[in-house]
A and B are shown apart, each in its own frame.
Chain A
Amino acid sequence: MTCRLISYCRGKACYALTCSLSMVLFGTGLILPLLFIANTTVALSATEVKVGSKAFTESVILGEIITQLAQSEGAKVKYLRQLGGTRVLWDALLTGEVDIYPEYTGTITQEIFAVKNIRDEETLKKILAEKNILMSRPLGFNNTYAIGMKEDVAEGLGITKISDLRKYPKLKFGFTNEFMNRGDGWPSLRRAYNLPQKNVRGLDHDLAYRGLESRSIDVIDLYSTDAEIRYYKLRVLDDDLHHFPEYNAVLLYRSYLRERAPDALKTILKLEGRIPEKTMIDMNAEVKLGGVPESVVASEFLKKNLSITTEPKEETFLTRLVHNTLQHLFLVAISLAAAILISIPLGILSHRKEKIGHGILGIVGIIQTIPSLALLVFMIPLLGIGSAPAIVALFLYSLLPIVRNTYSGLQDIPVGIRESAEALGLPPGARMRLVELPMASRSILAGIKTSAVINVGTATLGALIGAGGYGQPILTGIRLDNIPLILEGAIPAAVLALLVQGLFDLLEHVVVAKGLRLKGD
């Protein structure tokens, strides 16, 4: 986008834009070496297998099973749990930041390679192999989209298959937003079965279940291994026209695992064909409805089905808190420090050179309008997953308040003061250091404070791309509908924001000269 901006502009404005853009890029460049150090410290510990999973329970359980299997062979494993969605995992697999993760055949053909229109498994394997990626045989269950109703309602109306729905045009449908929009979702389902229903709403999956309970909707979409099928006593309607593609669970992994961790891989692949639908529904139910940790469920599965004994490692509340706090502080501290280092000079430049200033303020303003989630996802192709993209995104987000406040703080200095400093014979650098920056200090500090508070909040999103922090328990809590877990992330994040604010209030007494704080009494 920024590239296009540049090619559109002409002459001086163009110069200004290029100038400020290169400053921002320079700033990004400044953080990268730091991140490099952060990353290499991880690399030094010689991780052999990097396991990933998506941000829903089934994927997290499977990831946990893979992790424990690899560990049982003595491999060093790094488990990046509940990273965002397909895009994040797939990109991470391509760049080798994740070596293996559970995926579904339908997702691969319909989503990842949607444009290629793959018909058979052979073609799929060939395409994957070109990217040095291998696919396991199916694990045993098919977690496809399905259409479900309350058992008693379906019984009363005599509905057993999807084509039966045609006879009841008054039924209310509530589908997940994803299902409303997907290529194989509601639009094509309606066409395939010629369904007449008009009352169709898009809503959140969890709300859909509650809607069924309260009878405000009659029909929902679900995954065929959802834990709730049993809990809410649902009837899964037969897909009699075979509309939904198969979503067989498989493992996608980098081919180099065969050389790098052959034993671990061999053990992991023992999962092929070993997880039938019923077992998966049970495991999902244990975690989501029974509140058992994924690692424990995984360990029990391994003992029962593969006779492999593993030790489920669950962090205690305190170690989890410390761990999350450190990760969160790491994200905030580095991104904010870099933002301060870059933004203040950018603010000064904007104040000194009006034309460049417009460019700079425009660009950092535009960056601020990119939704934070989108900005995080933009970063993945460039920087992969983990703390690096999160820090760069947070850095970019922190620019505007500091640049703008530096600029306006300098701009607001009365002409008389400015001229007096000049008339004394102080050169520009000394004027900036001795007079202008001290006079603008309060405004600059306020900008930094705003950035810091926003930064602490936004950093919780970092968990979506594997950066950890307080977002981790929040994500898990949302996934498991577990309020205490959400609070475990939300409360420390709020406390940290307050602490940061307090810290800056104290700092004001140190940084802002007394003469500026006096109210003329």
Chain B
Amino acid sequence: MIKLENISKTYGSTRALDSINLTILPHKTTVLIGPSGCGKSTIMRLIVGLIKPDLGNVYVKDEMLTPINFFTIRRRMGYVIQDGGLFPHLTARENVFLIAKYLGWNNDRIRMRIAELCELTKFPIEALDRYPVQISGGQRQRVSLMRALMLDPDIILLDEPLGALDPLIRFELQNDLKGIFHTLSKTVVMVTHDIGEAGFFGDSIVLIRDGHIIQRGTLVDFVRTPTDPFVTSFINAQRSPLESIGE
């Protein structure tokens, strides 16, 4: 579905990614995880075509990403950034239908699609006409998700979608998200810091450090057959204090 082939990317003197090869399987959820600054967001930006690799190619559905097919390919992907990235000058509803309106959808079709999305993401319809500053953080993430899903893309990219939320809302959204992914059977790429969240969502987890892929597999693989001592220390660093009480 998505293939990164021998990708390298440097920012000035920072080597963000070094010869990355990565294939993202269709209809599965792939989670990118790793310490801060390891290059997760950079991979997401490359897939969307927001930045160009120094070396290597990105393929989406066997099409190589070039400036010519950017716009059409992007419309087959939904991208949710870390803080939601909602447009503050537009209401929740306007944020969601912006691209559809640009593409010339008629009002009925837009209205129906928004109703569907509200149900799917459990967003209260009456809050649709509020501006981003007037809704809660969790609701903002739901609007972001609706915006990404508006054109019913095959691919959904989420860069730390639950980063800034409190644990309860986070838990609720995790469940909702998983439900949505399950229902829609989309190809999902998700970035997270949290190994628990990675295990919860990921059919496949990719652990990255300093622009290199360290290991790819399920959470069980990471625990049972780590390929590098870093894998174990990364997992152990995130063990919950509750676990140690249970021991």
Which residues of the other chain, B, contact A434 by a CB distance below 8 angstroms?
98, 102
Chain A contact patch, size range: 20 to 34
Can you list, as one digit per residue, whether each of B75-103 has a CB less than 8 Å from chain A (1) or not (0)? Answer: 10101011111111111000000110010
Contact B89 A520 (CB under 8 A): no
Q: Taking the complex as formed, is B131 at the interface, i.e. its CB lies under 8 A from any CB of chain A? A: yes
Q: Taking the complex as formed, is B9 at the interface, i.e. its CB lies under 8 A from any CB of chain A? A: no
Contact B85 A417 (CB under 8 A): yes
Contact A420 B81 (CB under 8 A): yes
* Known contacts A417-B85, A434-B102, A423 near B50 by CB under 8 Å: yes
Q: Taking the complex as formed, is A439 at the interface, i.e. its CB lies under 8 A from any CB of chain B? A: yes
Contact A516 B81 (CB under 8 A): no
Can you list, as one digit per residue, whether each of A493-521 has a CB less than 8 Å from chain B (1) or not (0)? Answer: 00000000000000000000111101111
How far is it, in angstroms, between the C-alpha of A266 and the C-alpha of B45 when the chains are bound? 84
Which of A72-80, A151-159, A328-336, A425-433 touches B?
A: A425-433
Which residues of the other chain, B, contact A438 by a CB distance below 8 angstroms?
89
Can you list, as one digit per residue, whether each of A391-425 has a CB less than 8 Å from chain B (1) or not (0)? Answer: 00000000000000000000000101101111111
* Known contacts A416-B82, A513-B90, A515-B90, A424 near B131 by CB under 8 Å: no
Count residues of B near A (Cβ-Cβ below 8 Å): 31
Query: A419 touches which one: B45, B133, B134 (CB < 8 A)?
Result: B45
Q: Taking the complex as formed, is B74 at the interface, i.e. its CB lies under 8 A from any CB of chain A? A: yes
Write the chain B residue with the least CB distance to A442. Answer: B89
A482 CB, nearest partner CB in chain B, Å: 52
B63 CB, nearest partner CB in chain A, Å: 14
Number of residue pairs spanning A and B whose beta carbons lie under 8 angstroms apart: 81
How far is it, in angstroms, between the C-alpha of A424 and the C-alpha of B149 when the chains are bound? 10
In chain A, positions 183-229 with a C-beta closer than 8 Å to chain B are: none
How far is it, in angstroms, between the C-alpha of A514 and the C-alpha of B130 when the chains are bound? 10
A49 CB, nearest partner CB in chain B, Å: 58
In chain B, positions 132-189 with a C-beta closer than 8 Å to chain A are: 132-134, 147, 157
Contact B102 A426 (CB under 8 A): yes
Contact A516 B48 (CB under 8 A): no
Q: Taking the complex as formed, is B106 at the interface, i.e. its CB lies under 8 A from any CB of chain A? A: no
In chain A, positions 320-379 with a C-beta closer than 8 Å to chain B are: none
Q: Which A positions have Cβ atoms within 8 angstroms of B?
A: 414, 416-417, 419-427, 430, 434-435, 438-439, 441, 513-516, 518-521
Top 6 closest pairs, chain A to chain B, by CB: A420-B85, A513-B89, A515-B131, A425-B74, A423-B79, A520-B133
- Can you give 23 A-B contacts (C-beta < 8 A)? A416-B84, A416-B85, A420-B86, A420-B87, A423-B50, A423-B74, A423-B77, A423-B79, A423-B81, A424-B74, A424-B147, A425-B73, A425-B75, A427-B71, A434-B98, A435-B89, A438-B89, A439-B87, A439-B89, A513-B90, A515-B89, A520-B133, A520-B134
Q: Which B positions have Cβ atoms within 8 angstroms of A?
A: 45, 48, 50, 70-75, 77, 79, 81-91, 98-99, 102, 131-134, 147, 157
